[in-house]
DNA sequence: AAACGTTACAACCGCCCATAG
DNA sequence: ACTATGGGCGGTTGTAACGTT
């Protein structure tokens, strides 16, 4: 056991020594050109040979990442996730958990890093919005959330790897996610977040408005959206608070067929 | 105009796993 | 069995761009 660990450490040290002589940081246009030329010649593989041939002072891993996230053709770099893409991400995240590569495979032109970043920003945004909404607004909204959420600090938004089987908006059970005190955060089940999207016309945008800007009161929500958003949120989630299952007891929604088809799609991130 | 805060994105790290030689 | 490599993932950091004060 210890020997194995020792060997592992040795390997890692060796690797680290090698990697310590590599270039890091922002990629230059010349490096991109070299990388593109290599891919053109040999295809998107043999990443480590790029360095061993002295073409670039980058690790194979770094080269691969650069190619996958920036250089491979047909990437939608620089354009925001559309509502449709957002819907897909929400649904697939609910289904697969944080399997970003798998989710990204269903979105043309998006990489796992894109999806991860998008999700992470979205979570932060939601946390901020919900905190603002529940902490500061009218007594009505405070009471609406009051039973479920106590927010001394911005709520921690999290989803579980596997879909949860209880209510959509809930406090976390102390057994499943140990170190956190129940009142410290709300756990948004994937289905709750997805639930905001199960209506084709009901998206994050609908509830909270576009993320395009602050509206003067320190949050990203136009004032009239606060009420509308809360109402919609409660309409959506409130009806599900008794349990996240569908009629047949399945969870999440029994729309697997849709995703089975998606599963057959080729992954753009694999070659 | 400058300072400050927020957001989105790029890139990295560390860990893990699978596979091939 | 061991090693190198590719790949996936979660977490984190740095920064440019943008908005607000």
Average pLDDT, stretch A15-42?
74
Q: Flag the least confident range among A35-44, A109-118, A152-161, A229-238.
A: A152-161
* Any strand C atom closer than 7 Å to A47 CB: yes
**For residue A197, pLDDT beyond 60:** no
Chain B: nucleotides below 7 Å from protein CB are 6-15
Chain C: nucleotides below 7 Å from protein CB are 2-12, 19-21
Query: Straight-line distance from CA A32 to C1' C8, in Å?
Result: 23
> Greater confidence, A107 or A5?
A107
For residues A49 and A54, give the distance between their C-alpha atoms in angstroms, rounded to a whole number: 8
Query: Straight-line distance from CA A218 to C1' B5, in Å?
Result: 10
Query: Straight-line distance from CA A129 to C1' C19, in Å?
Result: 17
> Greater confidence, A234 or A22?
A22
Question: Class of A10-71 per CATH?
Answer: mainly alpha
Residue A254: CB atoms within 10 Å: 12
The highest-confidence range among A70-79, A131-140, A184-193, A207-216, by mean pLDDT, is: A70-79
Average pLDDT, stretch A121-127?
79
**For residue A117, pLDDT beyond 80:** yes
Q: Find the nucleotide nearest A218 (Cα to C1′).
A: C20
Mean pLDDT across chain A, nearest whole number?
56
For residues A99 and A112, give the distance between their C-alpha atoms in angstroms, rounded to a whole number: 8
Residue A163: CB atoms within 10 Å: 20
What pLDDT does A99 receive?
81
For CATH 1.10.10.60, the residue range(s) in chain A are 10-71
Tokens 């998006």 belong to which residue? A110
- pTM for the full model? 0.59
For residues A100 and A16, give the distance between their C-alpha atoms in angstroms, rounded to a whole number: 27
- Residue A101 near residue A192 (C-beta atoms within 8 A): no
CB under 7 Å from any atom of strand B: which residues?
A 12, 16, 19, 23-27, 58-59, 62, 65-66, 69-70, 77-80, 113-114, 117-118, 121-122, 124-125, 128, 211, 220
Reported as a pLDDT band with limits 50, 70 and 90, residue A131 is low
């Amino acid at each position: 056991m210890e020997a194995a660990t020792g060997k592992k450490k040795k390997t890692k040290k060796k690797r680290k020594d090698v990697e310590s002589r590599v270039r890091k940081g922002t990629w230059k246009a010349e490096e991109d050109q070299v990388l593109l030329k290599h891919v053109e010649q040999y295809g998107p593989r043999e990443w480590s040979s790029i360095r061993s041939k002295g073409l670039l002072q980058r690790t194979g891993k770094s080269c691969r990442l650069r190619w996958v996230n920036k250089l491979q053709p047909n990437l939608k770099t620089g354009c925001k996730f559309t509502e449709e893409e957002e819907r897909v991400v929400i649904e697939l995240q609910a289904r697969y958990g944080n399997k970003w590569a798998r989710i990204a495979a269903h979105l043309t032109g998006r990489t796992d890093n894109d999806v991860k970043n998008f999700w992470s920003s979205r979570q932060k945004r939601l946390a901020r919005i919900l905190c603002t909404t529940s902490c500061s607004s009218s007594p009505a909204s405070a009471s609406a959330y009051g039973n479920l959420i106590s927010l001394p600090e911005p709520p921690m938004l999290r989803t579980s790897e596997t879909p949860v089987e209880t209510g959509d908006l809930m406090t976390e059970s102390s057994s499943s996610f140990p170190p956190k005190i129940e009142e410290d955060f709300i756990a948004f089940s994937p289905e709750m977040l997805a639930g905001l999207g199960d209506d084709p016309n009901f998206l994050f945008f609908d509830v909270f408005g576009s993320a395009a800007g602050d509206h003067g009161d320190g949050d990203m929500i136009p004032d009239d959206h606060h009420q509308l958003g809360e109402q919609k949120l409660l309409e959506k989630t409130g009806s599900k608070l008794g349990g996240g299952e569908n009629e047949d007891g399945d969870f999440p929604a029994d729309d697997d067929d849709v995703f089975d088809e998606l599963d057959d799609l080729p992954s753009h991130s694999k070659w």
